[in-house]
Structure 1
């Protein structure tokens, strides 16, 4: 089930609001969360104008399990 098809209560439980919540869920630093967006990773983190970043736990879990979404090393 995606956030778009879920009932409002389950969406609220699935929602991570703010870079600190996202970083905590991923066990990353806040800077790494920002860097992932800046570098164009396919990570499902969204930005609301004036309100900051948000993501859904369910989408991040899927993203973490898919090896094709991980960043590749840049050629030296």
Structure 2
């Protein structure tokens, strides 16, 4: 009789742990990180020397989440980041 109780207890614990794992996997799968797309600013002209100014222009003029200066070719350009 003791062997049957141990088997039942083991199966119950195994079932309970598997439910927890399946539930946590389902919860984690529904939360997708926000994807960000980058493109060169359409309103910026000239060399981008200050990321703060680029950020303000991307947010205020182009509706982007933020902006920053990055190297492109020989110079630096203003890139805007949008939620995709």
RCO higher in structure (CA 8 A, sep ≥6): 1
Point out the structure with the larger strand share.
2
The two structures have a TM-score, normalised by structure 2, of 0.27
So what's the TM-score if we normalise by structure 1? Answer: 0.29
Larger radius of gyration: 2
